[in-house]
Amino acid sequence: MNCGKAVAVLGDQMFFLLVKSRTICRRLPGTAPVLSRSQHTAAERDSPGGSDTAEKPRLRAIDLARKIRQEKAKTQSETRTQDRDPPVSGSQQRVTELKRFTAQLQNVHPNVLAKHLHRTLLYRDKDVVILNKPYGVPVREESGVTTVTSVLPVLCKMLDGLKTKTDTELLPCLGLEKDSSGALLLARSEAVLEHILSLSRSNQVERKYWVITVGVPVPSEGLIDIPVIEREVTGPKPHFKMTLSPLFRMNEAGDGMTKVRSHRQAHAAATKYRVLDSSYGCSLVELQPLTGVKHQMRVHMAYALACPILGDHKYSHWSKLAPQKLPDRVLKKLGLEQSKSRYLPLHLHAHRLALPGHSQSDIAVSCPMPKYFIKTLNRLQLTFPEDKNDE
């Protein structure tokens, strides 16, 4: 009996000491409380950052979509920053547009080109079709490149209807250079083609081009009647160019002209020109070729008037093949630096085409200018007359 009482008293004393020690731990300043294993685990679970497996706030669908868009925009921005050159006076966007524009045209899919030509058709009847040829697309066949000629069978079916069985065809009459844009005349039969070529030889087909030139022609209106010939340019990179083959030269006294013998390989070439507007050392000029010699308008402007067409990198120099060198004020207006001028497209646009009708009334078509041409006019503050070419 006494033994049982002793055990009970001893148990009470131990419980009292345990409670006292915990109380002291809680009250002593600077002393961390002692927690049991279960209490410690519970504290970690209740703590906001105590466990890696703690439940996180749920992400709403709208927040997730917004986050994905932000990450995608950030990635695209970083990619563009890495791919492009450092911006130069705010001109980088202009350069990027020109590079992308050229690359797209050189890799256009045939079906895409056919649909584009059909959508931008200028005129059609049973004898002829007039297209709006885009810049950078050649008319005649070239290996590895989509051309107007290669898509004409598809375009013909679009014009006549896919289910219509027809033997008609589209034949280019008066071609345009690859780097020019504008009205392109097609015949719908061999007979019409021969008729149009006959009209062209007798100067009954009126073709007017609009060009932007580097320089202002003097006088502001006239006729350039100088034969053109193809010659080889020697040097590190030999190549062939068209150039002038004049019929007259200055005499020894320098006070008159002397007629010289014409070269047998030279081609007669005549071009009418008229300045429509000028600003910042550049001009908008209307050209009317009276002959159809290769590159005659480019050669006449560059070598006869010393006003090369903007973007004409071939005829801006004679002895070398290099990007066109532009005056500083022109570069500033265009938002470019000289090293980026190579991306400028040739500003040569077939604006108007008129000819007698083969079996109907006369045909006269004006072709709208491409966007890059209009942007350049605006940057150079050049204005083009409304229907002035119809006078």
**Identity at 299, one-letter amino acid code:** V
* Higher pLDDT, residue 361 or 162: 361
pLDDT at 106: 64
Q: Residues 359-369: pLDDT tens digits?
A: 678 999 999 99
Tokens of 149: 């000629």
Reported as a pLDDT band with limits 50, 70 and 90, residue 85 is: very low
Q: Is the pLDDT of residue 236 over 90?
A: no
Alpha-carbon gap, residue 288 to 208, rounded angstroms: 5
Most confident of 134-138, 246-250, 306-310: 306-310
H/E run at residue 363: strand 363-366
pLDDT of residue 79: 58
Query: Domains, the chain, ranges and CATH?
Result: 97-383 (3.30.2350.10)
- Give the per-residue pLDDT at 359: 65
**Cα–Cα distance, 113 to 109 (Å, whole number):** 6
The closest of 188, 190, 191 to 155, measured between CA atoms, is 188
pTM for the predicted model, two decimal places: 0.73
pLDDT of residue 244: 95
Two tokens at 3? 């033994």
Average pLDDT over residues 28-46: 49
User: Would you place residue 146 in the very low, low, confident or very high pLDDT band (cuts 50, 70, 90)?
Assistant: confident
Which amino acid appears at position 147 of this protein? T
CA–CA gap between residue 66 and residue 111 (Å, rounded): 38
Measured distance CA(369)–CA(282) in Å, rounded: 18
Residue-wise pLDDT for 182-201, tens only, equals 999 999 999 999 999 999 99
**381 falls in which pLDDT band (50, 70, 90)?**
very high
What's 277's DSSP letter?
E
Taking the CA atoms of residue 306, residue 319, residue 136 and residue 291 in that order, the dihedral angle to the nearest 10 degrees is 50
Q: What is the DSSP string of 293-329?
A: -TTHHHHIIIIISS-PBTT--SSS-SSS--PPP--HH
